[in-house]
Structure 1
Amino acid sequence: MSTSASNTGKYSGDLVLFMAIAFVVSWALWGVAIAMGGPAVNPAATLPHLVGAFGPAIAALVIRIRRGRRGEPVPEHAVRSRFKTLGWVPVLMVLASATVLSGGLLAGVSGSAPMPSVDTAMAVLTAQSPVMFLAMMVISGPLAEEPGWRGTAYPRMRASMSRLQIGLVLGTIWAVWHLPLFFIAGTVQSQLGLATPSGVLFAVSSIPMAMLCCCAYERAGVVASVAVHFAVNLTMVLTNVQAPVTLALIMGIQAIVVAILLATGKDKAASGAPAATSDEPKVAENA
């Protein structure tokens, strides 16, 4: 039996269980939100809408407890967030935000979409408490998802797949997982509409976005992937990105950035780096 086949079998149970829990928890709660009319119609729908986003985090917790009870080691390709690598976090945040701003500026210069405006950003921030707004931007997406998609699924998939393959597969799964949000009134996705160019591009953009978060994870662990996820989401909301041309440009720019990061980053599979052990210093443990 090849090493690749052995690794696939080793983590296939974890991956199937993780995906099942993530989808069942999220889709069940989002189904409740849809049935209630969504936050825009019924404020009570905000709770199932918000909690549903934690499906991947809940699944990650289950997998970690399962691993602990079985006495299994942390996957070889799990990346811890260490103090010596956290310097990557602000750099990656700026880079992630720049992919959105660049797309918006290019679309604005070409006349294909409105130019990003400071007034638009200020209107979003002043529409509610800035502190609450930023807290929700961190909690509802990045913190709810990254411990699962990147912190748990990624290192197990990395045991038998290349970084590019994982980006494509995990990005596609991520896009499908988001689909119920298009039917919850009050979400960004529902405003775009699933059967529109913007809606389709938004869904497809999960692939380069997943790759970007994976590259961040490989450099500084879950803290970095959370930061990148937050930076992209925040910039898109503040600049009110909706035009198809803008979304397409952002995807293209992110794809170029990912290609550069993949070409310049250290391939941990090729490096033969040993699995992390429990006595190593860490900021956040995952997988």
Structure 2
Amino acid sequence: MTIAFGVSWASWAVAIGLGGPSVSPLAGQFHLFGAFGPLIGALVIRVRRGRRGRPAPEHAVRFRPANLAWAPLLLVAASAIVLAAAFISHAAGGPAPSLDGALDVIAGFGGPATFLVGLIIGGPLAEEPGWRGTAYPRMRATKGRFLASLILGALWAVWHLPLFFIGGTVQNSLGATTPSGVLFAASSIPMAMLCCYAYERGGVLTSIAVHFATNATMVLLDVQQPVTLAVIMGMQAVAAAALLATIRPADRPTVVTTSPLDSAPTH
């Protein structure tokens, strides 16, 4: 946590001082580098554990080919939750779901390929090995999956806060004290719970898939209105609670003994 917050917040403080990506290309580089704080922290922990010959945490989910089946399944489910919430919020008086701005967003990234790569690298890939792959299994040693995912979600929300003060970010456009901004920050908790469920089912690759699907769907739909954000958050919370409750105690991963590969970020 110290490394993740330290690297990210220090980088983002520089980006804030430079005015943000919308003002300075250099600020954009610091903004992007800050996203890798959790990954850097995870790598440090893994290397140190390998050098000391310590076993992986009991609740760590190691990569297995059979687990890959969960990634596309939960990717579709995560995207479907956001889509369903968008239609429900429209029925409740919110804006209609629309992909009108999707082409502009993709063009802003430089095309579909760079859109996909940018969205994966700048969020899920930079964060999930740290939050779900490293912090979550260690928290599970003393806490149940509900409490662990709730606490991690709250920490995740706090970690994102400097982004509200970096010009050119989605968070900055929403505003830190607006209803949309508050709901955006609070939505980190149910989204973290979904990612924790994905991790328990299929490891870090599956949590990356869920994180990516949620971000991509929200970006393409240009979700910013409070009513839509509130419905998405509510549906994610219900889905996460229901899914986490389906994991039986017998599903818990067994203790993993150390090996020469333990220092590699494979879970």
What TM-score results when the alignment is normalised by the length of structure 2?
A: 0.94
Question: How far did 1:265 drift?
Answer: 2.2
Corresponding residue number in structure 1 for 2:169: 187
Partner of 2:13: 31
Alpha-carbon separation, structure 2, partners of 1:93 and 1:278: 31
Following TM superposition, by how much is the alpha carbon of 1:277 offset from its aligned partner in structure 2, in angstroms? 3.7
Separation in 1, partners of 2:252, 2:209: 27
Of 77, 98, 102 in structure 2, the residue corresponding to residue 117 of structure 1 is 98
Q: 1:103 aligns with which of 85, 92, 95?
A: 85
Query: Among 261, 274, 280, which residue is 2:243 paired with?
Result: 261
**Matched residues in 2 for 1:116 and 1:284: separation?**
38
Residues in 2 aligned to 1:210 and 1:201: alpha-carbon distance in whole angstroms: 14
Q: Is the 8 A contact 1:209 1:254 kept in 2?
A: yes
SS at match of 1:255: helix
Task: Indicate the SS of the match to 1:79.
Answer: coil
1:85-104 equivalences under 5 Å are: 85-104=67-86
- 1:114-153 superposed matches below 5 A: 114-127=95-108, 128-153=110-135
Rate the CA distance shift 1:89–1:121 in 2: closer, same or farther, 3 A: same
Change (3 A) 1:39 1:71: same
Residues of 1 paired with 2:159 and 2:40: CA distance?
15
Give, as a single letter, the amino acid of the residue that structure 2 aligns with 1:144: A
Whole-angstrom distance in 1 between the partners of 2:265 and 2:71? 14
Equivalent residue runs for 1:236-255 within 5 Å? 236-255=218-237
Say if 1:120 and 1:240, in contact at 8 Å, map to a contact too: yes
1:122 Cα deviation after fit: 2.5
Letter in 1 for 2:101: T
For the 8 Å contact 1:38–1:46, the answer to whether it is kept is yes
Residue 3 of structure 1: aligned partner: none
Deviation at 1:120, TM superposition (A): 2.3
- Show the counterpart of 1:276: 256
Give 3-state SS (helix, strand or coil) of 1:87's partner.
Answer: helix
Residue of structure 2 equivalent to 1:285: 266
CA-based RMSD of the aligned residues comes to 1.9
Is 2:43–2:265's contact at 8 Å kept on the other side of the alignment? no
C-alpha distance in 2 between matches for 1:141 and 1:214: 16
Identity among equivalent pairs (%)? 60
Candidates 39, 50, 60, aligned match of 1:57 = 39
Give the match for residue 48 of structure 1.
Answer: 30
Q: Is the 8 A contact 2:12 2:163 kept in 1?
A: yes
SS of residue matched to 1:84:
helix
Tell me by how many angstroms 1:123 deviates: 2.7
**Compared with structure 1, are the counterparts of its residues 284 and 92 closer, same or farther at alpha carbon in structure 2 (3 Å cutoff)?**
farther
* Counterpart code for 2:96: M
The amino acid of 1:64's aligned partner reads R
Residues 201, 248 of structure 1: 8 Å contact kept: yes
1:195-228 CA-to-partner distances (Å, cap 9, x unmatched) read 1000001111010010000000000000000000
Is the aligned partner of 1:222 residue 2:221?
A: no
Aligned amino acid, residue 214 of structure 1:
C
User: Which stretch shifts more, 276-285 or 76-85?
Assistant: 276-285
Structure 2: gaps (5+ residues): none
Q: With structure 1 as the length reference, what TM-score do the two structures score?
A: 0.88
CA 1:272–1:32 in structure 2 vs 1: closer, same or farther (change >3 Å)? closer
CA contact (8 A) 1:105 1:115 kept: yes
Give the letter aligned to residue 177 of structure 1: W
Match of 1:207? 189
Report the equivalent of 1:166.
148
SS in 1 for 2:65: coil
- Between the aligned partners of 2:72 and 2:196, the Cα distance in structure 1 is 16
TM-fit CA distance, 1:271: 5.2
User: For 1:148 and 1:122, how far apart are their aligned partners in 2?
Assistant: 32
- The size of the alignment, in residue pairs, is 265
1:176 aligns with 2:197: no
